[in-house]
Structure 1
Amino acid sequence: MTDTNFDEVGPIDYLVVEFPADHPPDGSALPLLLDLVERNIIRVLDLVFVRKNADGSLAGIAVEDLGFTGTVDVTLFAEASSGLIDRDDLEQAGAVLEPGCAGAILVYENRWAAPFACALRREGAQLVASGRIPVQGILAALDALAAPTEPV
């Protein structure tokens, strides 16, 4: 990220995805990730693949060694390394993975939000809280709204 002026950066998020031991990643999501990058919606800062061994230890996996199928050039993602992910981050991500599973750790800039975030920073505003609502929570809330209510 040294080539970017911080004043022009959008919000940065991360996610950890777990792939079940009996269903390793096949690369089918990579074209969708690449599409987000090409449309300038996000910028991938880091993409790291790991495997949690049965003894709980964590091992890095080179993206080229995952055996992905498809037409996406995986070396594009192998080069995504800003240095933001350190050993502590890997250990925290590994703590949420089940033994025998592979995982992907993705750090990305939300480029779509950069102009809005920059305008707020110029006004002296700062982000004081953020979060996500899991899809399951939204579906449960919608189901509750659609359920008939009992008279009081």
Structure 2
Amino acid sequence: MNDHPTPEDLLGPVDFLVIEFPDGKPSGAGFESVLELSRNDTIRVLDIEFVRHDEQGDLVVLDAAELGSDDRLADLAGAGSGLLDDEDLHTLASLVDASSSAAVVVYENSWTARLAADLEAGGARLAAVGAVDVDDLDAAVGD
């Protein structure tokens, strides 16, 4: 009997991306990378939502299947899980220009769960996970 957790027992760090489409028309450009990372089990996509604000400023959630003929977007249809509620989506959509639309991608860094399981099986443990502040990173790397 194995007393150590498996990667399926653990959840890696969860992050999100807000991808802005300045012309208001979502395209599938770049989403091949998201799909490839998911197929390779590097990440697990937990939610993808496409949003925009209408003329009155109200949130509109767009269906990926209805975004046009781009097959890369059609592959994302049904990926929305409801993890993000309307308040979350409104807040994240407000980060982009009012005339833009956006994709919000919530994903688990599943590779970290595999690492943690392997470490625990070897007698170690992952003690902390964190993010480096972008401003601090820019300052450290310099221009």
Q: CA deviation at 1:47?
A: 0.4
1:30-69 maps to which residues of 2 (within 5 A)? 30-69=31-70
Structure 1 CA distance, aligned partners of 2:125 and 2:142?
40
Q: Deviations over 1:93-144 (max 9, x none)?
A: 1222221110111111111111234457x978765x733444x875564345
Structure 2 CA distance, aligned partners of 1:126 and 1:57?
42
Q: TM-score with structure 1 length normalisation?
A: 0.70
Q: TM-score with structure 2 length normalisation?
A: 0.73
Indicate the structure (1 or 2) with the bigger Cα radius of gyration: 1
- Where in structure 2 are there 5+ consecutive unaligned residues? 1-6
Is the aligned partner of 1:101 residue 2:100?
A: yes
Structure 2 CA distance, aligned partners of 1:68 and 1:140?
42
Partner of 2:94, secondary structure, is helix
- Where in structure 1 are there 5+ consecutive unaligned residues? 145-152
Is the aligned partner of 1:91 residue 2:93?
A: no
Residues 11 and 91 of structure 1, relative CA distance in 2, 3 Å threshold: same
Structure 1 CA distance, aligned partners of 2:41 and 2:8?
17
Tell me the equivalent position of 2:109. Answer: 110
1:1-152 maps to which residues of 2 (within 5 A)? 7-20=9-22, 22=23, 24-69=25-70, 71-72=71-72, 74-118=73-117, 119=119, 127=128, 130-134=130-134, 138=137, 141-144=140-143
RMSD value, Cα: 2.9
Q: Which runs of 4+ in 1 moved over 6 A?
A: 122-126
Q: CA deviation at 1:41?
A: 0.8
Structure 1 CA distance, aligned partners of 2:113 and 2:28?
28
